[in-house]
Amino acid sequence: MLPKSEAVEPFVRIVAIDDDPEFLDFLSHALSENGMEIITSADTDTGLDLALDVRTDIVLLDLVMPNCSGFDLLEKIVSVNPTINVILLTREYSTELAVEAIQKGAADYLNKPISVEALRLRIKKFVDSARERHEATKLSHELLRNFRFEGIVGWSPLMLEVFDKIRRTGPHFRNILVTGDTGTGKELVAHSLHRLSPASSGPFVVCNCAAMVETLFESELFGHVKGAFTGALQDKKGYFELANGGTVFLDEIGEASLSTQAKLLRVLQDHVVQRVGSPIRHEVDVRVVVATNRDLRSMVTQKNFREDLYYRICAVEIKLPTLSRRREDLPLLEHHFLERYAAQYKKSIRGITRKAQILLARYSWPGNVRELENVIAHACMMTRGDAIDAHDLPDVFRSERFDAGDWDPDRSSLEEVQRRHVRRVLKAVGNNRAEAAEILGIGRTTLYRILANDKEPAENEAHK
């Protein structure tokens, strides 16, 4: 094995595997230059370890070696890390072998002997490609640092507008409404508003209105005293008292009943709570962030949401875009979640292959950023290489049903794309609603709502 070049961190790394030491010397001489490192091995096992363990960009591989076929090594390298460009070299050139090499994943196929000039010319395009990938990775890191606001990632115009609104309202709000589809990041926005508010040192309390049992809603929000009802064995503070001096986040407010809405309105007006079973009133100093994926204005018209409560909470509204409307953020979000889950699973993952990126870019993302996070987490867990490839993604991504036409705006509305996608995911998992909702990163209630106007009963049995 030849020593490493003097560069501390070579930009492009090449591993050469050949049983001919003289040819390895030739390769080392021909490809030695600044910004490149070439490591050679005449032993196939050592060479394979070098190709897979070192952060390799290019592998030069002899096709015919003792005790091992170059094709076998090629398949092992490509299966573990498909981002490596493997170039086969042989004295037994034939068109049939060249075609087979390309089909098995080789980037190029060269005939021995080869001149220094010809070798450098053929290798140059792969070196340039590797340098572009490294530069893109570096830029991704810089973008991620520069366009991460209070834990929220984005650089699309829509998200920059959201960031600006959070900055301006955070220090001043008392009640604020955050709207957006499931998975768009409403709780992240609530956390950001809290951190920017004068109450940032106080508690941040989350109340999921959709998950509450109606009979216990008032008790959970406002607390109760011992003996107020069966099972009330001791006094208990509600969410508003627990959030005193800080912020309470009321998620999915559209799921609250009209009677609960009336009591919420009284708290927002008077800043006073009364525990169930007690005549004593407790003053609370809280900021309230209300979130929903429902159209509250329509609910007001339909008498399903109190008009006076709506106008109390909607003085300032922050509306979050769906991921399909901010597709320019997709690579940045992929990189963000890749960093997070690679660290969580203690894996050295450099990036995502082009094939996987294409599949992710073609997808309609009805579950929005939460669904993307679930997909990247799954891929980081499953991958055995240092790059996420198509086979690391959930099965639904490799199905032929995810054709670009599924979300082509010239063919279908976004609502129809969502319904079609949910139907197909349901079908793929045997109509298991819980599993489909988990894959999509949405709740069952949202799944039902997307399919509410479904016109295809044959595929709609799952939600009946």
The 10 Å Cβ neighbour count of residue 320 is: 26
Residue 250: which CATH number? 3.40.50.300
Within a domain: 29: yes
Q: Check whether residue 248 and residue 226 sit in a common domain.
A: yes
Structural domain ending residue among the three candidates 125, 143, 161: 143
Within a domain: 2: no
What is the predicted pLDDT for the residue at 213? 80
Structural domain ending residue among the three candidates 115, 143, 171: 143
Q: Check whether residue 182 and residue 296 sit in a common domain.
A: yes
More confident of the two residues 458 and 112: 112
Q: Check whether residue 337 and residue 240 sit in a common domain.
A: no
Residue 351: which CATH number? 1.10.8.60
SS3 call for 94: coil
Q: Check whether residue 394 and residue 415 sit in a common domain.
A: yes
pLDDT digits (tens, 9 = 90+) for 398-422: 664 444 434 344 444 556 666 777 7
Give the rounded distance of the alpha carbon of 235 from its chain centre.
42
Structural domain ending residue among the three candidates 143, 177, 209: 143
Q: Check whether residue 303 and residue 173 sit in a common domain.
A: yes
The CA-CA-CA angle for residues 228, 232, 234, to 5°, reads 105
Contact 178, 291 (CB under 8 A): yes
**Strands annotated E in 293-340:** 317-319
Q: Check whether residue 106 and residue 233 sit in a common domain.
A: no
Which of 28-32, 212-216, 378-382, 437-441 bottoms out in mean pLDDT, i.e. has the lowest?
437-441
What is the predicted pLDDT for the residue at 144? 66
What's the average model confidence in pLDDT over 326-330? Answer: 92
Q: Check whether residue 294 and residue 421 sit in a common domain.
A: no
Q: Check whether residue 100 and residue 221 sit in a common domain.
A: no
Q: What is the CA radius of gyration of the chain?
A: 29
What's the average model confidence in pLDDT over 153-172? Answer: 94
Both tokens of 272, joined, read 């006073």
Within a domain: 6: no
Within a domain: 311: yes
- The residues, ordered by sequence, that sit 6+ positions from 137 with a Cβ below 8 Å of its Cβ are 350, 351
What's the average model confidence in pLDDT over 346-361? Answer: 86
Which of 120-124, 301-305, 422-426 bottoms out in mean pLDDT, i.e. has the lowest?
422-426
pLDDT of residue 255 exceeding 50, the answer is: yes
Among 25-39, 133-147, 369-383, top mean pLDDT goes to: 369-383
Name the residue among 263, 308, 270, 315 with its Cα closest to residue 289: 315
Q: Classify the phi-psi angles of 174: left when phi > 0, otherwise alpha if psi is within -120 to 50, otherwise beta.
A: alpha
Within a domain: 3: no
Q: Check whether residue 69 and residue 95 sit in a common domain.
A: yes
Q: Check whether residue 315 and residue 328 sit in a common domain.
A: no
Residue keyed to tokens 């298991």: 432
Within a domain: 5: no
Within a domain: 298: yes
pLDDT of residue 1 exceeding 60, the answer is: no
Q: Check whether residue 182 and residue 278 sit in a common domain.
A: yes
Provide the domain limits for residue 437.
324-463
Total domain count for the chain? Answer: 3
Distance from C-alpha of 158 to C-alpha of 270, rounded to nearest angstrom: 35
User: DSSP string of 2-66?
Assistant: PPPPS-SS-SEEEEEE-S-HHHHHHHHHHH--TTEEEEEESSHHHHHHHHHHS--SEEEEESEET
Residue 83: which CATH number? 3.40.50.2300
More confident of the two residues 135 and 329: 329
Q: Check whether residue 278 and residue 355 sit in a common domain.
A: no
Is the peptide bond between 113 and the residue preceding it cis, with omega within 30 degrees of 0?
Answer: yes
